[in-house]
Amino acid sequence: MALTLEEAIGRVPQWKGMKPKTTRLGGGITNQNYRVDIGDESFVLRIVGEKTELLGINREYEYAANLAAGNLGIAPQVYYYIQPEGYLVTRFITARPLPPDEIRQPENLQKVADLVKKFHAMPPIPGSFSVYDVVLD
């Protein structure tokens, strides 16, 4: 059964007794994403959407992948994982998209290449996910 936003926040031990400010974030096709501000820290709480298990998403694998990528500095750091629901709490990153003309600058292309190398050098994570296999099943 899905948790409410308040119930999910209450399941994060570090937040017990605190009154966070929450803001619903746009985007997210299958999940509800919220910015959670507590003191001078900001997080993203991702609440799994209804029936997303029909898409073949394994939340344990997803958590492992996010944890590994966060530890390498190529994704937001995982702060907490709410089980068994599979809700993920990560650090909020203040950033902006890079426009095409900016991403094409040699120094930015080098940064992207370095991140791709880090990604491909990640330790193996359990499981795999193929959208093609989900469609074929």
Q: For the segment 98-121, what is each residue's pLDDT rounded down to a tens digit?
A: 899 999 999 999 999 999 998 888
Number of domains in the chain: 1
Host domain of residue 86 = 5-136
pLDDT of the residue at 130: 73
Quick: pLDDT tens for 15-67.
998 989 999 998 877 889 999 999 899 999 999 887 777 777 888 988 999 99
Tokens 């296999």: give the residue: 133
For residue 110, give the H/E element and its range.
helix 106-120
Task: Please give the backbone phi and psi of residue 62, each rounded to the nearest 5 degrees, phi first.
Answer: -60, -45
Please check the confidence at residue 1 and state whether its pLDDT lies above 70: no
Which domain CATH number covers 12? 3.30.200.20
